[in-house]
Amino acid sequence: MMYCFIGFLNVEQLFCLFDRIIGYNSLEILAILAVGIFVKRTEKIVKYKSKDRIEEVFNNLKNINVIECVRLALPR
């Protein structure tokens, strides 16, 4: 938890994530973001069959938008 998504998200999105953590005074946003990333990447996850290819999907998060992923994970 200490390093969150450091090294995976670009700096702007990392600051956006930290802003939400501080704003909500909770680390729950990390779990919500993780769910949102799964939702956003579902098509690729289902498409790939090998463990290595699925790991690639989650190792490349530089183009992830934190707010968009959080919104995908939250019920409407």
pLDDT in tens, the chain (76 residues): 567 788 888 989 999 999 999 999 999 999 999 999 999 999 999 999 899 999 988 888 889 999 999 999 998 7
Which pLDDT does position 2 carry in this prediction? 60
Spatial neighbors of 1 by CB under 8 A, at least 6 apart, are 27, 30
Which pLDDT does position 6 carry in this prediction? 80
Q: Would you tell me how many other CB atoms lie within 10 Å of the CB of residue 55? A: 11
pTM, whole model, 2 decimals?
A: 0.84
Q: What is the distance in angstroms between the CA of the first residue and the CA of the last residue of the chain?
A: 27
